[in-house]
Amino acid sequence: MDVTITRASLRGTAQAPPSKSYTHRAILAAGYASGATVYDPLDSADPHATARAIEAFGGDVSAVDGGFAVEGFAGVPDVPANVIDCGNSGTTMRLVTGTAALADGITVLTGDDSLRSRPQGPLLDAIEGLGGRAESTRGNGQAPLVIEGPVSGGRVSIPGDVSSQYITALLMAGAVTEEGIEIDLETELKSAPYVDITLEVLSAFGVEAEPVGADGGEVRSAGASGFRVPGGQTYEPEGGEYHVPGDFSSISYLLAAGVLAADEGLTVRGAQPSAQGDTAIVGIAERMGGDVQWDREAGEIEVSKSELSGITVDVGDTPDLLPTIATLGAVADGETRITNCEHVRYKETDRVSAMATELGKLGASVTEYEDELVVHGEDSELSGAIVDGYDDHRIVMALSLAGLVAEGETVVRGAEHVDVSFPDFFDVLYDLGATIQRQ
């Protein structure tokens, strides 16, 4: 699907979708339990992939009023009867690779073309280090993957700068092993807030896990040299239920739409504080000069169109914000420098290169380095163009924001991929006053 967007003035109220990161972890945690109900989940393609994996391992996931009822496999996954297709969901593949290592037999995991290009090697090496079998069928550290268990736990080392999801997979699986798992980080941890999300969900399900050697700051996992999860634990949430918070990665697009185009103001609901690192978008927008007011208790953000100035932003812990920040930088005065972003190249697509290329088509001046993206707002004047969404929900949404302020018509190709994390994205923009044409 292609979407055509023209310059618009937005106003009104928008509801943030539930968090994709929390939804994945909660569904899997309920699978590790004997069962639980996950309320307010994100009902989209990626969490559905995790739900299918739970069913492949012997559980069951069914829709109920306001959520998903999960019948779990109580920490002992069956050997799947068929290949598990994770679709486009990298989170699913990495998290359930840990689950597969617990099964007493062989599990095969695959996905679409994009997912089969993403790195899984360090997690495979960790499972091998725990005594399991973990192979890439093509011998390149990428899916399809063959995993054979069961592992009983132990101590492993793994890089911390490729994907925090490797750590999440090991922590979630490690809780139900006999020995537990101790993880030593070989490199500095990137995306530490995402591990905090994992620790928060584990705690809600009654599971103990902790960082080792962390710096004691607001982000619990920041500076950690490793992680530890004792074995023999049971997943059991209080009252048999878990409620998913709003998604700040998705809120970033609504907030950015507000500072770019909401002449009369915009209210974003569902913005309760949580461990999500992407809450940083509020402070980033404020630093750029955005008129942003966050009522944390009410979970509401008030935002309106603002004159923006370029800043430097380190996205080591917030990789999903890079596309949003790059778009804001293309409109801001001065230079916006996005640093510490090499790991953002290993998402659904190389998001650093994708944003440099597509913003360039719209008239932005962008310089791309291996670990840095610089947007020269003072040399940028956005005009409508045909841009490619790279089959990546975050690229599609970020480029759509640019269409709200570009002269003329902006056509975003592959717009259907917003279904991954924000299925109603274009409906929400339309309700706020955007002109949206679907083809």
Residues forming the active site? 320
d(C-alpha 334, C-alpha 351), whole Å: 22
Show Cβ contacts of residue 139 under 8 Å, excluding neighbours closer than 6 positions: none
Helix or strand or coil: residue 418? helix
d(C-alpha 103, C-alpha 95), whole Å: 14
351 is in an annotated binding site: yes
- 434 within 8 A of 409, measured Cβ to Cβ: no
By the 10 Å C-beta count (0-12 exposed, 13-18 middle, 19+ buried), 81 is classed as: exposed
The two tokens of residue 95 are 């998290």
118 is in an annotated binding site: yes
25 is in an annotated binding site: yes
d(C-alpha 195, C-alpha 221), whole Å: 7
347 is in an annotated binding site: yes
The two tokens of residue 269 are 């609901």
191 is in an annotated binding site: yes
- 365 within 8 A of 356, measured Cβ to Cβ: no
* Neighbouring C-beta atoms of residue 148, cutoff 10 Å: 19
Buried b (16+ CB within 10 A) or exposed e, 44-76: bbbbbbbbbbbbbbbbebeeeeebbbbbbbbbe
90 is in an annotated binding site: yes
The candidate with the shortest Cα–Cα distance to 96, out of 46, 162, 138, is 46
The candidate with the shortest Cα–Cα distance to 276, out of 21, 105, 48, 34, is 21
Positions at the binding site: 20-21, 25, 90, 118, 163-165, 191, 320, 347, 351, 394
Positions at the binding site for phosphoenolpyruvate: 20, 90, 118, 165, 351, 394
Positions at the binding site for 3-phosphoshikimate: 20-21, 25, 163-165, 191, 320, 347
